[in-house]
Amino acid sequence: MPLRLKRIGFLALLAVFIIILLSANYHCALAQEKDGKTAPKTEKSIMPLVTFVEIGSVNCIPCRAMQPIMKAVEEEFGEQVNVVFHDVWTPKGKINAAKYNIRVIPTQVFLDKDGKEYFRHEGYHPKAEVERVLKTQGVK
């Protein structure tokens, strides 16, 4: 019986988190986009080996901690890695959160050169670990 109560409690907590996540204030998010405070979505001219999709928010502390890592990956690996950021508290970001079945933020989704997911991580992901994941696809 205690296991069942824990499971129910976990599901209830998860449901509350999802409701909070999906009921973010649209006006605030739109204002942030207009001010240019969201991380840029980069498009590369050649086909990258990996697309590193970071799904989070500019208002989330662990998500903000991922911003320097994303920038470092872009600078270090150049056109080998396409770094994309989606803010889940914007209308477009909510669509992408649903597309990638995001449960928590931040979440990192790694796509191979064919666009197929080959790795996913939830929470803060240290740079050394991100690099290890990238190198499994031939990124140098």
> pLDDT at position 9, please?
65
67 within domain boundaries: yes
**Domain span at residue 113?**
26-135
Q: What is the DSSP string of 80-138?
A: GEEEEEEETTSHHHHHHHHHTT--SSSEEEEE-TTS-EEEEEES---HHHHHHHHHTTT
**Nearest 5°: phi and psi at 86?**
-125, 125
Beta bridge partners of 120: 109
Number of domains in the chain: 1
Asked if residue 12 belongs to a domain, the reply is no
CATH number at residue 108: 3.40.30.10
In a domain, 107, yes or no: yes
Among the listed residues 108, 106, 100, 94, the one whose alpha carbon sits nearest the alpha carbon of residue 25: 94
Q: Nearest-CA neighbor of 127 among 69, 74, 71?
A: 69
* 35: three-class secondary structure by DSSP: helix
Torsion on CA atoms 64, 121, 71, 99, rounded to nearest 10: -90
Of the candidates 41, 3, 88, 120, the one whose C-alpha atom is nearest the C-alpha of residue 11 is 3
**pLDDT means over runs of 10, the chain (140 residues):** 70 54 42 42 68 96 96 96 96 94 97 97 97 95
**7 falls within a domain:** no
Is 19 contained in some domain? no
Q: Tell whether 9 is covered by a domain.
A: no
Residue 15 belongs to a domain: no
Domain presence at residue 8: no
The pLDDT, as a whole number, for residue 38 is 41
What does pTM read for this prediction? 0.67
